[in-house]
Amino acid sequence: MSNPASISGNVHQKPKLLLFDFDGTLADTRTIAHGILNDMSLEFGFRELPLDQLEEARRMSTRDFIRHLGISRWRVPSIARRGLQLLHERIHLIEPISGMPETLTFLQERGVRMAILTSNSQANVEAFLSRHNLLYFEFVRSSSKLFGKGREIKRILRKEKLSPGEILYIGDETRDIEAAKVTGLPMAAVTWGYNSVEALHALNPEHLIHSPSDLLNLHLQLTRP
């Protein structure tokens, strides 16, 4: 188990809740999402993403990626809704990130509180969790807007009666880091998802973790007496 990199945060914070992103963090949706994206490029008339440009795309922020594809901001909601519909049809093909089931089981057995905040639909996430017997999460909260996670985090803080420092947010995209910063949550950015190490590091998250087992190490560091 390697040591996760702490960039700027206070490693002595003790989270009471681990809040996970879904796509790219828990579920390996990247390959299927790429196919769906290119299918929708024909339907909505935006630029296709060739396979050899995937790594370049991972280095872009979410906003830069949308501009790169030539998608107008006003069309983002309808494209996102269509993408979720197509993903639902293929949810049975999606596997967990390698090593994540073991990590989640370890955390659940030790009584760690866990929840999910996602831009995916609640139905898609719950179908995935049920299929893979990963029913470890207290709740699944879905943001109806691509950049609406900050608002949902504030609702979670109020409902759960937690302070920002009591939640560790775990996600794989630049927009996850942006939402965490807006709401004051410590952020553990995972490097196996939609955005590259370079793109994540540029936004200075509190922690960078490179494998699911690193998450266990980080949790032990943060909860050590």
Report the predicted TM-score, pTM, of the whole model to 2 decimal places. Answer: 0.90
Phi, psi of 73 (to 5 degrees): -55, -35
Which residue is catalytic, options 21, 28, 176, 214? 21
Which is nearest to 136 in space by CA: 109, 108, 161, 116? 108
Q: Which residues, in sequence order, are bridge partners of residue 96?
A: 27
Into how many domains does the chain fold? 2
Query: Same structural domain for residues 61 and 111?
Result: no
Q: Convert the pLDDT of each residue in 115-124 to its tens digit.
A: 999 999 999 9
Let me know if 52 is a catalytic residue.
no
How far is the C-alpha of 157 from the C-alpha of 70, rounded, in Å?
35
Q: Convert the pLDDT of each residue in 107-149 to its tens digit.
A: 999 999 999 999 999 999 999 999 999 999 999 999 877 677 9
Domain that holds residue 190: 5-28+94-223
Q: What is the CATH number of the domain that holds 204?
A: 3.40.50.1000
Domain end marker among 92, 109, 137:
92
